[in-house]
């Protein structure tokens, strides 16, 4: 694990690794058996007490920008994180809309063995210009906590999936990584998309505090640099206020020459919901509008 000596790894990645097993990693079952709407409710209770928009805006400007890299890519990157079969069933709604948006690159992160997807369907999405990424093995939250040998066998399975769909990018479910899972990610992928520049639990802020990417031994760590739907849908904000937080951040990223990354979940309890899907479309329109001025 040579990367451990890298100063950027020490500064941005090491403090953001998970050393303690998360609660659902102890469950003898897959936590998805708890209905999504109920999990959403628990999440809101546990994580988003007392959050104030003012705090986020204040913290945002402290982000470290020492690693600015001139971007020669699309103006906006969209991540669609498909966690479950329910999300997969809603995926076409998103792909049909996103196919017609210029200046937008979409990466669809799917677990390699999470549910029964159609291989032909994924190949058709690639033909339509989408990129497929790997969203873990089956999204049960346990993979990063397996011992080295067990984890290796799982990543070998993941690698078969990678080859089928030309996958180079990994995003760990729930943004959970350990040293061993980083080791295998760097072995089987070219990029990791599992760290966020800033997020909050209760009223505390965490993250890399760097909105751009870092490169370690030719391997890219891309930091997710805008609030994902899971977060803002759980705040007591209206549509206008949600769009304002996102556009504020996009302007900040644009001024610093960093490509914004927006994350959505197609599940019916998140952006796949009929009403929230309209919010998703408005966010894309407004973001592109702001980037094109």
- Residues lying near Zn ion in the complex (CB under 5 A) are found at 81, 83, 173
C-beta closer to Zn ion: residue 60 or 95: 95
The nearest distance, CB 202 to Zn ion, in angstroms, is 21
Phi, psi at 106, each rounded to 5°: -115, 130
C-beta closer to Zn ion: residue 173 or 207: 173
271 DSSP 8-state letter: T
Sequence-ordered alpha helix ranges (H) in 9-129: 36-47, 53-60, 85-99, 119-127
Sequence-ordered alpha helix ranges (H) in the chain: 7-8, 36-47, 53-60, 85-99, 119-127, 148-164, 179-188, 229-233, 239-255, 274-292
Nearest CA to 80 out of 93, 70, 69, 67 is that of 93
Provide the angle, in degrees to the nearest 10, between the axes of the packed helices 179-188 and 148-164: 30
The nearest distance, CB 111 to Zn ion, in angstroms, is 8
Q: How far apart are CA 5 and CA 57, in angstroms?
A: 33
The nearest distance, CB 109 to Zn ion, in angstroms, is 7
The nearest distance, CB 251 to Zn ion, in angstroms, is 27
Q: How far apart are CA 274 and CA 248, in angstroms?
A: 26
Bridge partners (DSSP) of residue 263 are: 79
Tell me how far CA of residue 26 lies from CA of 46, 80, 195, in angstroms. Answer: 18, 27, 23
The nearest distance, CB 7 to Zn ion, in angstroms, is 30
Question: What is residue 222's three-state secondary structure?
Answer: strand
The nearest distance, CB 172 to Zn ion, in angstroms, is 9
C-beta closer to Zn ion: residue 32 or 60: 32
The nearest distance, CB 175 to Zn ion, in angstroms, is 8
C-beta closer to Zn ion: residue 97 or 175: 175
C-beta closer to Zn ion: residue 172 or 210: 172
C-beta closer to Zn ion: residue 81 or 229: 81
Residue number with the shortest CB distance to Zn ion?
83
Q: Which two tokens stand for residue 91?
A: 């995926």
C-beta closer to Zn ion: residue 75 or 139: 139
Quickly tell me which residue has 């007392």 as its tokens. Answer: 50
Sequence-ordered alpha helix ranges (H) in 79-138: 85-99, 119-127
């Amino acid at each position: 694990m040579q990367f451990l000596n890298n100063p950027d790894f020490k500064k941005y990645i090491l403090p953001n690794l998970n050393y303690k097993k998360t609660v659902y990693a102890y469950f003898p079952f897959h936590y998805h058996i708890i209905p999504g709407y109920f999990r959403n409710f628990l999440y809101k209770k546990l994580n988003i007490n007392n959050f104030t928009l003012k705090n986020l805006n204040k913290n945002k400007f402290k982000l470290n920008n020492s690693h600015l890299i001139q971007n020669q890519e699309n103006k906006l990157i969209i991540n669609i994180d498909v966690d479950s079969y329910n999300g997969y069933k809603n995926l076409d709604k998103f792909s049909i809309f996103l196919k017609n948006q210029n200046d937008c690159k979409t990466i669809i992160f799917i677990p390699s063995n999470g549910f029964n997807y159609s291989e032909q369907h994924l190949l058709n999405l690639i033909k339509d210009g989408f990129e497929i990424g790997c969203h873990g093995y089956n999204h049960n939250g346990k993979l990063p906590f397996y011992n080295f040998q067990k984890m290796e066998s799982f990543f070998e399975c993941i690698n078969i999936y990678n080859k089928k769909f030309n996958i180079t990018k990994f995003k760990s479910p729930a943004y959970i990584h350990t040293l061993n899972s980083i080791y295998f990610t760097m072995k089987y992928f070219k990029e990791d998309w599992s760290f966020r520049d800033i997020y909050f639990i209760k009223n505390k802020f965490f993250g890399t505090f760097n909105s751009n990417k870092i490169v370690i031994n030719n391997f890219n760590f891309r930091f997710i640099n805008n609030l994902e739907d899971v977060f803002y849908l759980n705040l007591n904000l209206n549509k206008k206020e949600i769009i304002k937080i996102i556009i504020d951040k996009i302007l900040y990223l644009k001024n610093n020459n960093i490509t914004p990354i927006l994350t959505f979940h197609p599940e019916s309890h998140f952006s796949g919901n009929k009403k929230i899907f309209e919010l998703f479309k408005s966010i894309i329109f407004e973001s592109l509008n702001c980037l094109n001025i």
